[in-house]
Structure 1
Amino acid sequence: MGATPDGTDDVFDQFLTDRGHTTERVGWERDRRKKQCPECRGLHDSAATACTVCGWSPSP
């Protein structure tokens, strides 16, 4: 699941953590010399900071 700009993922992650679930931050995956979006699987140059296909970006 990608991060939302309004911070609701942080609230949801805390809710899950409080109930014994583990959460992890999702980052870019690598496919040869390209970055791959974990949401839509779109490929981007290594300098990409956000997915141009679905708009996903890693949490800071």
Structure 2
Amino acid sequence: MVTTTGVLFIVAAVVLFFFWIYGIVSFYFDLRYRFLPAVREHLRDDEQQARPDPEEYL
């Protein structure tokens, strides 16, 4: 027999699961589209600064 407490428990579990999954997916998209491009650009800038300027040797 279904009780009110059981139904509330299932509803609360589903709601918490939804927000948990939403947080994981949001974190993934933040990493992919915000942080990884910033890290790549930072590494690319470091590589360009490490290279000597060819104009200095002419």
TM norm structure 1: 0.26
Larger radius of gyration: 2
* Higher percent of residues as helix: 2
Relative contact order higher in (CA < 8 Å, ≥ 6 apart): 1
TM-score (norm 2): 0.27
- Larger strand percent: 1
